[in-house]
A and B are shown apart, each in its own frame.
Chain A
């Protein structure tokens, strides 16, 4: 037997290396991450290298196809599509991820509370049903109509709309997560290791954080990745309906919306934002898949 105290602490760190190794060995997840990182870096640092302003209008160069000066062409006002894609990606990704996080936190919280505490189950699940029964698009329209002015006045037009979009998408998409999490928590609660923890005297809050949450990680992970995808798509469809950010403020959805009128003249203009959205969603889904496997010690060993 070797010197023990050292031995036990060393792998406490290497546990995350195990996760990383498993994640890397999942081909789809690895390439998904590469693609996602490329998109994120392009969107974050691209504008530093590409100096054309996304709102700069060069009316003489309008409706051009791809060229060296404009790799993705220009729009009907001569604005550079490449610059607009990068600026739009920032907003779309930020909205997608924050809205997903919000929905996830809300959904997990409500799911765990409903599943773990019997008294809260009824009220919380009826609330969830209520939200599920609401027609979301009209609701979103009403939310945006009601609060757009107020928030714009307080946080500036862009900041206000950002907060509005994120919270609107967040509070209308947590229900699926809540239901899945509740179901899993209900099943977990009856498992013997929860009983064992109770016989030890673990209080409820640590029971949730130590025994329940790690074991519902898989469904949360899946709904997180799907959540990013739906959040980006919802934001796109809202912008597409002309309800999201102001018209001159590029997002992927807005770019798509603006390009539809020119679908026949320059189909490439629809393809760029469409492809960006699909690629991001696909990459994130694969990443989530790999992450879920990597976080499960039973799968990790294989």
Chain B
């Protein structure tokens, strides 16, 4: 499923900004802000999976949460299914909730330890649907079948399950309201490798069956390669590169993407010795005080004069491929 213009975008993000204030000093005054997400724009087509990768702390999860307006945005707009999420009133927002759901990173933390599985999966139904308790139960059991959980587990508590099963509970909860768009916030990061494949395959299967659209946040590049149609690479609150999956993995354009992809382990030992790793020097700058110009200029192996002065434009350099780098700027 490559990028094709005929399908309409389900999610449209324009210049999304999410700054968290820092309070300090004796009077707890606002002394600065963490620019967790600093002006990013992208679209997700219907039925597509957009992979969002980047290192820890680059703002991936914040993007996911901001998209569902779990945070109040600092700026920009988010449109899901033509509704403006960013500026909706609480009541409007509540009505829109069923179209967008989220799967969380830590399946242990994202399930209320005092609720049974049936209660957890049934909670969205209780909030948004006026059905009898019986109908709700039927739907809960149906959902449990869908994600491959034994029906007998309905009255157990989350702590009685393994990590993979817990993540299935989380997925069932996200599916309960027949959403169109699901944000998967590192859904496999806390799971064993053997379970990761199961969960990812389940997500793919559900996508095929229910026509879901995913934003798949992960730092696992091979997993993103497996599941995503297009991939966005984030660095320090901005998108460095956004491209169809095969193009990106075959020929990364942005120096940061190149460095990131060179870090993926090569399974073949004879090839492994030949792999040339691009090792980045230094640390990620603080998002409360990002460098002037391009935010990657402090670590970029191909840094030029202009990089420290002017911020690169995020623009389409080839059909479907967006890069924010002066190397490709053709203005």
Decide: B154 and A7 in contact? CB cutoff 8 A.
Answer: yes
Which residue of B104, B134, B159 contacts A297 across the interface (Cβ within 8 Å)?
B159
Q: Report the Cα distance A1→B140, complex, angstroms.
A: 15
A7 to B118, CA, bound (A): 12
User: Which A residues are in CB contact (< 8 Å) with B70?
Assistant: 195, 198-199
Report which residue of B102, B111, B155 has the largest number of chain A beta carbons within 10 angstroms of its beta carbon.
B155
The closest CB in chain A to the CB of B159 belongs to A298
Contacts of A2 in B (CB 8 A): 152
Task: Point out the residues of chain A lying under 8 angstroms from B116, CB to CB.
Answer: 15
Within the complex, the shortest CB–CB distance from A14 to chain B, in Å, comes to 8
A201 at the interface (CB under 8 A from B): yes
Indicate if the CB atoms of A200 and B97 lie closer than 8 Å: yes
B208 at the binding interface (Cβ < 8 Å): no
In the complex, chain B residues whose CB is within 8 Å of the CB of A7:
151-152, 154
In the complex the two chains form, is B93's CB within 8 Å of A201's CB? Answer: yes
Known: A201-B94, A201-B128. A297 touches B157 (CB 8 A): yes
Which residues of A have CB within 8 Å of B102? 196, 199
Q: Is A193's CB under 8 angstroms from B151's CB?
A: no
Supposing A8-B118, A211-B112 touch, asked if A203 and B94 sit within 8 A by C-beta, the answer is yes
Within 8 A of B (CB), among A166-212: 191-193, 195-203, 206, 210-211
Enumerate chain B residues within 8 angstroms of A265, measured Cβ to Cβ: none
CB 8 Å contact bits of B126-138 with A (1 = contact, 0 = none): 0110000010011
The complex places the Cα of A196 from the Cα of B101 at a distance, in Å, of 9
Residue B167 is within 8 A (CB to CB) of chain A in the complex: no
Is A219 interfacial (CB-CB < 8 Å)? no
**In the docked arrangement, what's the CA distance between A202 and B112, Å?**
14
Closest B residue by C-beta to A197: B123
Any A CB within 8 A of the CB of B225: no
Residues of A within 8 A of B111 (CB): 193, 196
Knowing A192-B106, A297-B159, A298-B159, the reply to whether A4 touches B151 (Cβ < 8 A) is yes
A195 adjacent to B104 (CB under 8 Å): yes
Assess the A12–B68 pair: CB atoms within 8 A: no
Let me know if A138 is at the binding interface, CB within 8 A: no
**Interface contact B112-A195, CB-CB below 8 Å:** no
Indicate if B109 sits at the interface (CB-CB under 8 A): yes
Min Cβ gap A150→B in Å is 44
Q: Could you tell me if A297 and B97 are in contact, using CB atoms closer than 8 angstroms?
A: no
B113 lies within 8 A of A298 (CB): yes
What is the bound-complex CA distance between A296 and B157, given in angstroms? 10
Question: Bound state CA distance, A7 and B140, in angstroms?
Answer: 13
Among A2, A12, A206, A297, max chain B CB count under 10 A is at A297
Given contacts A4-B151, A196-B104, A203-B94, contact A191 B109 (CB under 8 A): yes
| Neighbouring A residues of B173 by C-beta, 8 Å | 196, 200
CB-based nearest A residue for B118: A8
CA gap between A217 and B115 in the complex, in Å: 13
Contact A297 B113 (CB under 8 A): yes
Q: Which residue of B lies closest to A191 (CB)?
A: B109
Q: Is the CB of B101 within 8 A of A200?
A: yes
Q: Which of B124-165 contact A (CB under 8 A)?
A: 124, 127-128, 134, 137-138, 140-141, 151-152, 154-155, 157, 159-160
Q: Are A5 and B97 in contact (CB under 8 A)?
A: no
Q: A217 to B113: give the CA distance in the assembly, Å.
A: 12
List A225-263 residues whose CB lies under 8 Å from chain B: none
Contact of A11 with B155 at beta-carbon distance under 8 Å, contacts A192-B105, A192-B106 already known: yes
Given known contacts A192-B110, A196-B173, A211-B112, is B155 in contact with A202 (CB within 8 Å)? no
Kindly list the 7 A-B residue pairs having the minimum CB-CB distance in the complex, ordered from nearest: A201-B97, A192-B110, A192-B109, A297-B157, A11-B155, A214-B114, A201-B94
Q: Interface residues, chain B, CB within 8 Å of chain A? A: 65, 68, 70, 93-94, 97-98, 100-102, 104-106, 109-116, 118, 123-124, 127-128, 134, 137-138, 140-141, 151-152, 154-155, 157, 159-160, 170, 173
What are 22 A-B pairs with beta-carbon distances under 8 A?
A: A4-B137, A4-B154, A5-B134, A5-B137, A8-B137, A8-B140, A8-B141, A8-B155, A15-B155, A192-B104, A193-B112, A195-B65, A195-B104, A196-B173, A201-B124, A210-B123, A214-B112, A215-B113, A217-B114, A297-B159, A298-B159, A301-B160
With A199-B70, A201-B124 already in contact, 7 other A-B pairs whose C-beta atoms are closer than 8 Å: A4-B137, A7-B152, A191-B109, A195-B104, A206-B127, A215-B112, A217-B114
